[in-house]
Structure 1
């Protein structure tokens, strides 16, 4: 049986030590290869003009051209390579801006290596993965009294929508972020409330956080 082609990854971060750290993590994933590096969004755009990759992993905050504007310019030029944006900032404004620019993934840099690997595979396969909030802080302050298990397990899309609900986004904002019809999102939200046995979005989010669903 022929071996699957490796996932070719380009890294963009203005800090050399961060890039080295990411490379060390990616080296532990058997079929991932870092084939290009850049220290700014502009440098990455120039690099991709001649280098074919399967995924760009980029910091958001960079000099010259940040990760969000880099993604926007790539999309305007017709470049469809998936982009996974990483940031140390838990900023509510960054997620919708990243999604609007055309990024397929948005994660905080404190993500665990296995979760980063899962994100890479999800995005390269054509999916999207968004992590708008750090739920540990909420879990430390609030607990939902009803800790009964959901009546049915949640799928990846429902988890994605739950995370966006936790970020305070409306159905319309969620629809725009993950490219679904607003009515479809409304149906997903109704299903989420039913599975959790909660009557509103706030209770659903608090219970999902308490149960470590998100």
Structure 2
């Protein structure tokens, strides 16, 4: 996707915020705003006829909020990366965003350059807990485990880790990477073992903290 336009969809219940984000993004190359909506359900409906490469969504909206939007996308098999936006600097939100299946989390007071970087990186397949300072989140997780993995990760394992971060089940991951569900289960077990973690959420957070994904 290096030279192709990145199609962006935006959901925010505040018209002024939507207008501001659209004007801001218009100043960067490669970005094409294809959908804008005032809530999650309206965005879901619009995406059926106007697919996007990256979705930007406010977290707190009337009706279907940002977390609900991500879950609805994943439930219908839509893997489009989502960057969740919020004005609330609460340390629990990035964790909740990751658990919902979002690929990125960004405060609305981030710089335009941070927003552009977040869009281009998730469009390229990366997962970002937050491309803005994340000291509260990192501090919350650091006390548990900051040790290095016991072994390096293969390209396949990194791909599976990213899908785990997206909230996909073993069955959905198997379909995405053309492996049997049993093989994926083995990969996940190996990933958890290398990470020294007992569950998928901690493995994802540690992978993000250590910049493995």
TM-score normalised to structure 2 length:
0.65
Measured against aligned partners, the alpha-carbon deviations of 1:3-53 in whole angstroms (never above 9, x if no partner) come to 922111011000011011111110011110111101001111111122111
Give the aligned partner of residue 115 of structure 2: 116
Unaligned runs of 5+ in 1: 139-162, 188-204, 206-214
Give the aligned partner of residue 13 of structure 2: 14
Distance in 1 of aligned mates of 2:37 and 2:30 = 21
- Is 1:81 matched up with 2:80? yes
Shift, 1:165, TM fit: 2.3
Distance in 2 of aligned mates of 1:50 and 1:60 = 23
Give the aligned partner of residue 33 of structure 1: 32
Give the aligned partner of residue 54 of structure 1: 53
Question: CA-atom RMSD, angstroms?
Answer: 2.9
TM-score normalised to structure 1 length:
0.65
Shift, 1:67, TM fit: 0.3
Give the aligned partner of residue 67 of structure 1: 66
Shift, 1:93, TM fit: 2.3
With over 3 angstroms needed to count, the CA separation of the structure-2 counterparts of 1:113 and 1:184, relative to structure 1, is farther
Alignment of 1:143-182 (within 5 A): 164-168=137-141, 170-171=144-145, 181-182=191-192
Shift, 1:186, TM fit: 5.6
4+ residue segments displaced more than 2 Å: 131-135, 163-172, 175-187
Unaligned runs of 5+ in 2: 147-160, 168-187, 198-208
Shift, 1:78, TM fit: 0.5
Q: Counterpart of 1:129 in 2: which secondary structure?
A: coil
Shift, 1:95, TM fit: 1.6
Distance in 1 of aligned mates of 2:140 and 2:122 = 21
Alignment of 1:176-191 (within 5 A): 181-185=191-195
Name the stretch that deviates more: 45-54 or 66-75.
45-54
Give the aligned partner of residue 89 of structure 2: 90
Q: Is the 8 A contact 1:133 1:167 kept in 2?
A: no
Q: Counterpart of 1:168 in 2: which secondary structure?
A: helix
